């Protein structure tokens, strides 16, 4: 086990629609389903201290509200690096319509190689 907890993201239909509509070149636009996008979901590692503070759904909801902006912008940037293509409205309410988060208190590293940060 490592000294981290994890948060995984599940993408909802409004986010997938944005992916398909945001590309400025219509001929390049993707035809994706929610299932397609959810086949490869992001895992966010959080500190052990933060993870230990999350003991129930209310704690996790409070954590998500404090940290949603970093997660939101990370997901937008993963698809389109140009912030001009990002939605103007990036409130917590929009985040909740676009994504679901799941908390995982235990993270096990099964590889003996050092972790490399990109």
pLDDT band at 49 (very low <50, low <70, confident <90, very high): confident
- Rounded distance, CA 83 to CA 76, Å? 8
Q: What is the pLDDT of residue 48?
A: 86
Cα-based distances in Å from 104 to 7, 18, 37, 52, 63: 6, 27, 21, 11, 13
Express each pLDDT in 77-112 by its tens digit: 999 999 999 999 999 999 999 999 999 999 999 998
Task: Give the mean model confidence (pLDDT) for residues 34-52.
Answer: 93
Task: Give the mean model confidence (pLDDT) for residues 42-61.
Answer: 92
Average pLDDT value for the chain:
93
Q: What is the pLDDT of residue 115?
A: 85
Which residues neighbour 68 within 8 Å (Cβ) at sequence distance 6 or greater?
Answer: 92, 95
Cα-based distances in Å from 71 to 27, 31, 66, 90, 94: 29, 24, 10, 11, 13
Q: What is the pLDDT of residue 52?
A: 86
pLDDT at 35 exceeding the cut of 90? yes
Provide the whole-model pTM.
0.89
């Amino acid at each position: 086990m490592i000294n981290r907890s994890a948060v995984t993201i599940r993408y909802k239909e409004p986010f997938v629609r944005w992916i398909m509509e945001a590309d400025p070149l219509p001929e390049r636009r993707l035809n994706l389903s929610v299932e397609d996008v959810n086949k490869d979901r992001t895992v966010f590692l959080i500190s052990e201290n933060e993870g230990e503070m999350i003991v129930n759904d209310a704690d996790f909801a409070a954590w998500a509200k404090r940290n949603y902006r970093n997660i939101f912008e990370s997901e937008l940037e993963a698809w389109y690096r140009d912030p001009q293509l990002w939605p103007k409205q990036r409130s917590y309410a929009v985040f909740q319509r676009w994504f679901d988060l799941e908390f995982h208190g235990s993270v096990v590293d099964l590889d003996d190689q050092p972790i490399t940060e990109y």
